[in-house]
Amino acid sequence: MIKGNNFSIDEDRFPLDEIRKLYEKYKKRWVPLFNAHLSTPFIPPLSEYPNIESLYMKDSLGELCDGRFIWGKVIFMDFFNPICEQFWDKMIWETDKKWDLSGLWIDANEISNLEKRKNPSSKLKDPPRKYYNLPFYPGGVNLYELQAVNQDCIHYNGQEEFNARVWNALFQSKYSYDSLKKKFPYPFVLGRATMMGGGKYSSTWIPDIRSDWDSLKVSTAVLLTYGLFGYGMSGVDICGFISVGRVPDELCARWYQVATFYPFARNSHVTVIDNLDNYQEPYLFIYWRNIRYNLLSYSIEI
């Protein structure tokens, strides 16, 4: 993508004709990652889309709910707004015209905001933010200090983020599912934020888990819990998500063994040390691949 912009394709680095040939040759499918925000400047220009400003969330002070993500400044979309459904659908199919997509991966739709807030400014206290002084905070951290959109950001029809947090993600998953339904009888949508009943529209995974034995143990219980909330297609990042240095070989091998029975199985590991050998590719674990794909034929309901 171009500077992390949803719906954009960097055709200088990834010429579409060449990419299509590669995908056909190796029989690959493309599932792009979209977020719950728009980068600034947005590509293509926002001026091409009437009423686009009505999709932006504003706070109780009337200020734009903006923030930062990995690639810079962003503005957050309000998926409560019916216009957002139309915009989201249009942009999905504008992207599909350029490069044939096979599903959507929706990330950071909690909604995440990576702006540092360790020292709340006086702006939060004067005039006072509505949810700045609550009698209880989970984990003892003020909600305005979290890496998330402000709790008093306003959604369509006056709903506040404090009361509507997971609903925004649910609507984004639903809009994505409904849009892809035009092309696929069983759309593939992978969403990060979850809500009871959301499994009707998306798969999910346990994000940002550490690469250690304790995390492997705990994640199994968490994964089973997802089933209780209606997410039949869920999984854990095999070998964990992030580590400092190489993940122990035995831990990774055991994780693949457990993942044989994950409904949704993928390796999405990230290391903070560059130039490590690529030692976690699924095809390196032949026993895992053979057992998993043999068992899958028994799990499909006709």
Q: What is the pTM of this model?
A: 0.88
Q: Please tell me whether residues 134 and 236 are part of one structural domain.
A: no
**In this predicted structure, what is the pLDDT of residue 177?**
96
Boundary (domain end) residue, out of 159, 176, 201: 201
Q: Please tell me whether residues 52 and 159 are part of one structural domain.
A: yes
Average pLDDT over residues 121-129: 56
Q: Please tell me whether residues 3 and 97 are part of one structural domain.
A: yes
Q: What is the pLDDT of residues 267-301, one digit of tens each?
A: 988 766 655 666 788 888 888 888 888 888 776 55
Would you place residue 6 in the very low, low, confident or very high pLDDT band (cuts 50, 70, 90)? confident
Q: Which helix (H) or strand (E) holds 178?
A: helix 161-180
What region does 207 belong to: left with phi over 0, alpha with psi -120 to 50, or beta? beta
Q: Please tell me whether residues 102 and 230 are part of one structural domain.
A: no
Would you place residue 302 in the very low, low, confident or very high pLDDT band (cuts 50, 70, 90)? very low
Boundary (domain end) residue, out of 201, 230, 252: 201
> Looking at 4-8, 68-72, 141-145, 245-249, which range is the least confident one?
141-145
**In this predicted structure, what is the pLDDT of residue 47?**
67
> Looking at 59-63, 66-70, 111-115, 255-259, which range is the least confident one?
59-63
223 close to 206: Cβ distance less than 8 angstroms: yes
Using the structure block, give the residue that is written with the tokens 């599903």: 103
Would you place residue 21 in the very low, low, confident or very high pLDDT band (cuts 50, 70, 90)? very high
**In this predicted structure, what is the pLDDT of residue 117?**
62
d(CA 153, CA 172): 17
Task: Give the domain range for residue 136.
Answer: 1-201
The phi and psi torsions of 286 (rounded to 5 degrees) equal: -60, -40
Q: Which residues contact 21 (CB under 8 A, 6 or more apart)?
A: none
Mean pLDDT of all residues belonging to the chain: 85
Average pLDDT over residues 97-112: 91
Q: Please tell me whether residues 262 and 196 are part of one structural domain.
A: no
Q: Please tell me whether residues 190 and 259 are part of one structural domain.
A: no
Would you place residue 96 in the very low, low, confident or very high pLDDT band (cuts 50, 70, 90)? very high
Number of domains in the chain: 2
**What's 29's domain CATH number?**
3.20.20.80
Q: Please tell me whether residues 34 and 170 are part of one structural domain.
A: yes
